[in-house]
Structure 1
Amino acid sequence: MANPAAVEHAGHSEPGEMSATVEHDAAHGAGHAAPVAFGIVGPAAWVSLAMLVFIGILVWKKVPGLIVGGLDTKIAEIRKQLEEAKTLRAEAEALRKEYADKIANAEKDAAAMLDHAKVEAEQIVAKAEADSEAMIARRQKMAEDKIAAAERGAVDELRAKAASAAAAAARGLISEKHDAAADRKLVDEAISAI
């Protein structure tokens, strides 16, 4: 419901004009009166004035400088931490690369050692085979020499026994079939041959 005074006042105004009270009633609803100090200072002006005083006190106490200084300090700390992180990352990358190189070198060294060990093992096996063949050949030759010596000894012994047996048999035959007349005949033949 509209304020009767406002309606009465609105009826006396020129067409197209609205009074300040009607505008205020329309904005804040009928029946509430807005506080006004000194006839010109309204609520918006009080809030603006309070904000200006608050901002003035903050500037007077150098609060923006403290805030900016604190923020600058934080920014400097963050930059320092970022630089440390970059340095640590670079060091970590260098260490990673170093260890990767060491691992690659260790793998190459292990492969080279394995190849070298294989070559040495093959050489040792080949030398052992050659040595065993040479030793077998030496022992075979020694055995053959012993067998040949034993054969020669046996042959010599058989010859000696055969010669002894032949001489004994010849002696026996000569003594049986040869008498003094046969001896004379042989001596005479030998003398006549001279």
Structure 2
Amino acid sequence: MDATFWALIGLVLFLGLMIYIKVPGMVGRSLDKRADNIRGELDEAKRLREEAQALLAEYQKKRKEAEAEAAALLAAAEREAALLTEEARQKTEEFVARRNALSEQKIKQAEADAITAVKSAAIDIAVEAAGKVIAAKTDKTTQTALFKDAVAKVQSRLN
């Protein structure tokens, strides 16, 4: 008998022993158990993926709402800034108009004061000149009468 024969007998005995102690059943159960574990892990992964997708959708919805709210706030701020700018422009225009009116009023008053001062000076000079002319051409009694008459006329015109 050669070595091949004994190797075949050893193999048959080994396979018989394996079947006797139910190794194929244990391997099958082990593989089934492993397949069940893998199936459970896949189910868990699928559930987690669905939860992650739900969370992603929720966060995207919140992000869109936040972006819409931010856009609304920005638009409101821009409207308010435009209103404030317009209000400031109007107040500035009103201030400038009031200052111009006040300046024009002061200028008119200064013109009126200057005209009054010139008239007063002209009257004083005219009265003085008339007095000198009259004094040179008339006698003392006529001078007094004319002076009193002129002063009365000037006073009536000034008042």
Report the TM-score, using the length of structure 2 for normalisation. 0.70
The residue type equivalent to 1:125 in the other structure is T
Q: What residue in structure 2 maps to residue 42 of structure 1? A: none
1:51-77: per-residue Cα shift (whole Å, max 9, x none)? 9x9986444211233023212321222
Measured in 2, the distance between the counterparts of 1:75 and 1:83 equals 12
- Residues 1:93 and 2:32 are matched in the alignment: no
Measured in 1, the distance between the counterparts of 2:15 and 2:42 equals 35
Unaligned runs of 5+ in 2: 1-11, 147-159
- Residues 1:72 and 2:43 are matched in the alignment: no
1:119-146: per-residue Cα shift (whole Å, max 9, x none)? 0221122112202211211220121122
- Residues 1:152 and 2:152 are matched in the alignment: no
Distance of aligned partners of 1:76 and 1:184 in 2 relative to their CA distance in 1, 3 Å threshold? closer
Alignment size in residue pairs: 135
Q: What residue in structure 1 maps to residue 93 of structure 2? A: 133
Report the TM-score, using the length of structure 1 for normalisation. 0.59
Measured in 2, the distance between the counterparts of 1:183 and 1:107 equals 101
1:92-150: per-residue Cα shift (whole Å, max 9, x none)? 21231122113212320232123113202211221122022112112201211221121
Percent identical? 38
Unaligned runs of 5+ in 1: 1-50, 187-194
More helix per residue: 1 or 2?
A: 2
Q: What residue in structure 1 maps to residue 6 of structure 2? A: none
Q: What residue in structure 2 maps to residue 143 of structure 1? A: 103
Larger Rg: 1
Measured in 1, the distance between the counterparts of 2:62 and 2:133 equals 102
Which portions of structure 1, spanning 4 or more consecutive aligned residues, are displaced by more than 6 angstroms?
53-56
Residue among 84, 91, 108 paired with 1:124: 84
Distance of aligned partners of 1:157 and 1:116 in 2 relative to their CA distance in 1, 3 Å threshold? same
| Alignment RMSD | 2.7
Distance of aligned partners of 1:128 and 1:150 in 2 relative to their CA distance in 1, 3 Å threshold? same
